[in-house]
Structure 1
Amino acid sequence: MTLKSRWLSQEATAAWLLLTPALVLLGVFVLWPIAYLVYLSFTTGSFTRSGIHWQGWQNYQRLLMDPDFWQVLANTLYFAIATVIPSLVLPLGLAVLLNRVVALKGWLRTAYFIPSITSLVAVGLGFRWLFQPDGPVNDLLLSLGATAIPWLSSPVWAMPVLILLSIWKQIGFNLVVFIAGLQAIPLTRYEAAALDGAGAWQKFWHITLPGLQPTLVFATVTTLIFTLRSFEQVYVVTGGGPLNSTNVLVYYIYEQAFAQFDFGYAAAAATLLLLMALLLVYIQLRTWDKETS
């Protein structure tokens, strides 16, 4: 064995020794729960003396035939689309404006970021109070001569309240991400465009947006994942109602597992949610590879 190969072998051994604790934790707390989740999705029963029993693809067949699941999936799609688009457009515009502001820039970024680190339970209770039938929002509508709206008891208006809460919660995180992306775009591009007579909109369309494309992909995927795993706001504000109009996928999984104790069926729905999240991550990685290649 040459000196070089011996050194490489020693480096590899040291690397594996250093990585072993992290790999063990990853296997115990991430890989094993995922594998057990997939296994549960093919079973029926509960964690009692009766135990769980293998039943194959029946849980997935039930999902495809269950109208409640399709309504929940439609609710989740509506919630995700209506949350993601404003959660990207609003912080992008704010980031462009704040990137030009010199005074109070740090204070403004902090103010916008505070909702991202606020407890969703506390925020949910606050929104529930705001949108009560006799709450401040309806008081404002009445003072303007409008009619009070039964926000949380209406199948039409309950979901917009959750969407507004989620947008307010996500704006600060995306704002910080976009500001970091803007600061990575070289100023020389804007100076060259100004010399060529480009206006503000042309600079934004031809320099800012292309320069932010990897950041946009990251923000889109993370915001989608945030909306797909939404649970606290539904649990605190609406409880999935009224008439199942705000029941999204994670809350549906919770109800099936811990209210109906149908763990196999809930595991099948959770496995589909996991596949959706993995697909989003795959799209992000492929897009990132195209941008960096």
Structure 2
Amino acid sequence: MAKLYSKMWLDNEEVAAWIFLTPAFIFLGVFLLYPIAYLFYLSFTAGSFTSTGVEWIGFRNYWRLLFNPDFWQVLGNTIYFTVATVILSLVIPLGLAVLLNRSLSLRGLLRSAYFLPSITSLVAAGLGFRWLFQTEGPINQLLDLFGIAPISWLGSSIWAMPVLILLSIWKQLGFNMVVFLAGLQAIPPSRYEAAELDGANSWQQFRHITLPGLRPTLVFAAITTAIFTLRSFEQVYVVTGGGPLNSTNLLVYYIYQEAFGQFDFGYAAAAATILLAIALLLVYLQLRTWGEET
């Protein structure tokens, strides 16, 4: 009898779909939706996870963010870091992908070499960059060969951020290049053949065939790179510690300092909520762009 009822339930496609989706919904609810809801709740409270508990204070944490110059400096750092990283992490891999797509020799070897940074630990990469750009490191030794005075890369409020940007570009380069290669191979070769017959040069083919054909891929790469960049923590923690003079402090590291350094969980939750809103806005723009494309 039990088997009969079970078969009747599974014969109903809608009921069967809900049965199979239930474990995924439970997983998402416990590990995604509940933490987001609790984060939003914490942003309206003050206190810590001690016997004193938390206190509801309304929008006070958001007002503190609004009038805190340190937060605005961190937000400006994050925007600068994100925009520079995203632009260069699209332009450089796209150029490499176009070159590798045309050259058949050593394509597999070069693709593996460029993709290697993507599977390298960010902590290990950060330690490597910290060694490279220290005052007596290899980069300054190389500059000395050309008669250029050593630069205090990690001790300068001007040069420290470009080091972090370079590290993030190096980390993201291989992934985006592979994505662009897949997008390029999806463009029909007949389009390029027709363009050559019409007398189009390489730049005209790239502008009128490659870029329009890669539009969905470009949107995907831009959004994923932006989200990866917004959640950057290891680079700051390992290489600069947010210094000098707070010039490399990014939003995620700022949240970490406020939550686990100052134990101001409500204020940190408010900053994390703003970061979540920015990420959701990027996802919305991606979905809207793809919807217009289709």
TM-score under structure 1 length normalisation = 0.96
Q: Report SS of the residue matched to 2:55.
A: strand
CA distance in 1, matches of 2:63, 2:11: 51
Q: Report SS of the residue matched to 1:152.
A: coil
Match of 1:214 in 2: 216
Match of 2:93 in 1: 91
Q: Deviations over 1:156-211 (max 9, x none)?
A: 11101001100111110100010000011111111111111111010000000000
After TM superposition, list the pairs within 5 Å mapping 1:252-263 onto structure 2. Answer: 252-263=254-265
1:242 to 241, 244, 247: 244
Contact 2:9 2:16 survives alignment (8 Å): no
Match of 2:38 in 1: 36
Q: Structure 1 unaligned runs (5+)?
A: 1-5
Identity in percent: 74
After TM superposition, list the pairs within 5 Å mapping 1:25-64 onto structure 2. Answer: 25-64=27-66
CA distance in 2, matches of 1:20, 1:80: 37
1:233 aligns with 2:235: yes
Match of 1:173 in 2: 175
Match of 1:123 in 2: 125
CA distance in 2, matches of 1:184, 1:38: 42
Q: Deviations over 1:35-92 (max 9, x none)?
A: 0000000000000000011110000000000000000000001101111111100000
CA distance in 1, matches of 2:73, 2:224: 24
CA distance in 2, matches of 1:122, 1:175: 22
Match of 2:5 in 1: none
CA distance in 1, matches of 2:145, 2:208: 45
Match of 1:275 in 2: 277
CA distance in 1, matches of 2:235, 2:77: 14
1:108 aligns with 2:110: yes
Q: Report SS of the residue matched to 2:154.
A: helix
Amino acid at match of 2:34: W
After TM superposition, list the pairs within 5 Å mapping 1:19-30 onto structure 2. Answer: 19-30=21-32
CA distance in 2, matches of 1:8, 1:166: 49
Amino acid at match of 2:111: R
Q: Deviations over 1:116-150 (max 9, x none)?
A: 11000000000000111111111111121100001
Match of 2:152 in 1: 150
CA distance in 2, matches of 1:163, 1:153: 16
Match of 1:11 in 2: 13
Q: Deviations over 1:217-268 (max 9, x none)?
A: 1111111111100000000000000110000000000000000000000000
CA distance in 2, matches of 1:252, 1:196: 55
Contact 2:42 2:269 survives alignment (8 Å): yes
CA distance in 1, matches of 2:110, 2:11: 52
Match of 1:3 in 2: none
Match of 1:187 in 2: 189
Match of 1:285 in 2: 287
Pairs aligned (count): 287
* CA deviation after TM superposition for structure 1 residue 17, in Å: 1.3
Q: Structure 2 unaligned runs (5+)?
A: 1-7
CA distance in 1, matches of 2:9, 2:267: 52
Match of 1:160 in 2: 162
Q: Report SS of the residue matched to 1:109.
A: helix
Q: Report SS of the residue matched to 1:44.
A: strand
Amino acid at match of 1:207: I
Amino acid at match of 1:147: A
Q: Report SS of the residue matched to 1:151.
A: coil
Q: Report SS of the residue matched to 2:58.
A: coil
Q: Which contiguous aligned blocks of 4+ residues in structure 1 show a shift greater than 4 angstroms?
A: 6-9
Amino acid at match of 1:235: Y
1:82 aligns with 2:84: yes
CA distance in 2, matches of 1:255, 1:269: 11
